[in-house]
Structure 1
Amino acid sequence: MARFDLTDFEWSVIEPLLPNKPRGVPRVDDRRVLNGIFWRLRTGAPWADIPERYGPHTTCVNRFNRWRKAGVWDRLLEAVSKAYDGDIQMIDSSSIRVHQHAANAQKKDDRSRCMGRSRGGLTTKIHALVDAEGLPIALKLTEGQAHDGRSAADMLSAIRSGQILLADRAYDSDALRQDLASRGAWANVKPMPNRKNVPAFSGFLYRYRNLVERFFNKLKHFRAVATRYDKRADNYLASVKLASIRIWLRFNESMA
């Protein structure tokens, strides 16, 4: 088994979730193709550099794109994350440098590609909501200069009564607090220093927010995520989700 290949445990989880193809020409071995996709994801190498042991690189590219369009990667992440620990959830974002090869795409503006211009060049921001184990529940891309709090508004629908959200000052707003309170949840968000009416805040619970930062550290072990090489935002988000699936699988394997 090569270094980045799926283990038997990981494959046993993934295989039943893959699309069936009862008729027509059988698909090229799914495990081999997925191993090629994960090899590229971990190394950040161009698709054309995928080793021959994984078959033609065009097969890996086509499978990645076809299953992204069909929602297969979304369904895999939803399936492996279904049993998340929802008592405490954390949200944060991380800026990713856009490689020059991804920045020269034509016909679409930077916002539609989730790229933002700053003094450091083009960046994409990954927003992540994680559970009490630091495992991803929801993921989203925006352009690099997007405001964290406003960008997170549509990521918090899964938070329910009795649950707690941990977040830093970028998410401090009355609207967010009121929205969670209306659902019986509590926003333990670090208040802005200029607040006149300082809301309740637990510094003890806030210490656990480092778990979302650890998630981003794990995510950036995948070099195709740590630097954005994809011109298309949907392809890059698919890579982020695939890396997140791998993080979930490794956690589950360690607990098995």
Structure 2
Amino acid sequence: MGRSRGGLSTKIHAATEALGLPVRLIASPGQRNDIAFAHDLVDGIQAAATIADKGYDADHLCDKITETGADVVIPPKRNRKLQRPYDADLYKERNRIERFFNKLKQFRRVATRYDKLLANFMGFVKLAAIAIWLK
């Protein structure tokens, strides 16, 4: 968990399968950028395509995804010198991961982040993910 002037903050990074069910969950300090934990998130996951938002746009991540044989569906940042093409129609499927986060936040303990220890917080995040799988 990260500490800021406002208190403790944590980001949850999730990899989901095609139906929006979680495959891997990683927590990071709230003040860190998304790309710092992207390699851990995609490491060892086999997929036909990897869809992510602009926060994950980096050449080293795109190269790693391409090495696994997956298509990279990450829109390029506006300030990128060499704009990279991506499949805009397939990118529309990213709403499934947003819906997963919505389902995850239906669990009050996860949404309000009562826990001070990362292990306890991630335990409840994973418990909520199991409940989502079982529905």
In the superposition, the TM-score normalised over structure 2's length comes to: 0.93
**Secondary structure, in 3 states, of the residue corresponding to 2:122?**
helix
Q: Choose from 199, 204, 226 the match for 2:84.
A: 199
Using the TM superposition, give the Cα deviation of residue 122 of structure 1 relative to its aligned residue in structure 2, in angstroms: 2.8
**Does 1:170 pair with 2:55?**
yes
**Does 1:115 pair with 2:5?**
no
Q: Which residue of 2 aligns with 1:153?
A: 39
CA distance in structure 2 between the partners assigned to 1:184 and 1:142 by the alignment: 27
Q: Choose from 227, 231, 234 the match for 2:112.
A: 227
CA distance in structure 1 between the partners assigned to 2:134 and 2:81 by the alignment: 45
Using the TM superposition, give the Cα deviation of residue 176 of structure 1 relative to its aligned residue in structure 2, in angstroms: 0.5
Residues 13 and 25, structure 2, Cα contact 8 Å, conserved in 1: yes
**Does 1:126 pair with 2:1?**
no
CA distance in structure 2 between the partners assigned to 1:185 and 1:165 by the alignment: 6
Q: Which residue of 2 aligns with 1:181?
A: 66
Q: Choose from 112, 129, 133 the match for 1:244.
A: 129
Unaligned runs of 5+ residues in structure 1 are 1-113, 251-256
Which runs of structure 2 are paired with 1:1-256 in the superposition (5 Å)? 114-117=1-4, 120-160=6-46, 163-250=48-135
AA partner of residue 3 (structure 2): G
Q: Which residue of 2 aligns with 1:21?
A: none
Give deviations 1:128-162, integer Å, cap 9, x for gaps. Answer: 111111110000111111111111211112333x6
CA distance in structure 2 between the partners assigned to 1:213 and 1:227 by the alignment: 18
CA distance in structure 1 between the partners assigned to 2:112 and 2:2 by the alignment: 12
Using the TM superposition, give the Cα deviation of residue 121 of structure 1 relative to its aligned residue in structure 2, in angstroms: 3.8
CA distance in structure 1 between the partners assigned to 2:133 and 2:8 by the alignment: 29
In the superposition, the TM-score normalised over structure 1's length comes to: 0.51
Unaligned runs of 5+ residues in structure 2 are none
Q: Give the number of the structure whose alpha-carbon radius of gyration is greater.
A: 1
**Secondary structure, in 3 states, of the residue corresponding to 1:142?**
strand
CA distance in structure 2 between the partners assigned to 1:209 and 1:140 by the alignment: 18
Residues 159 and 180, structure 1, Cα contact 8 Å, conserved in 2: no
AA partner of residue 149 (structure 1): I
C-alpha change, 1:207 and 1:116, in structure 2 (3 Å) is farther
Give deviations 1:42-75, integer Å, cap 9, x for gaps. Answer: xxxxxxxxxxxxxxxxxxxxxxxxxxxxxxxxxx
Using the TM superposition, give the Cα deviation of residue 116 of structure 1 relative to its aligned residue in structure 2, in angstroms: 3.2
AA partner of residue 154 (structure 1): D
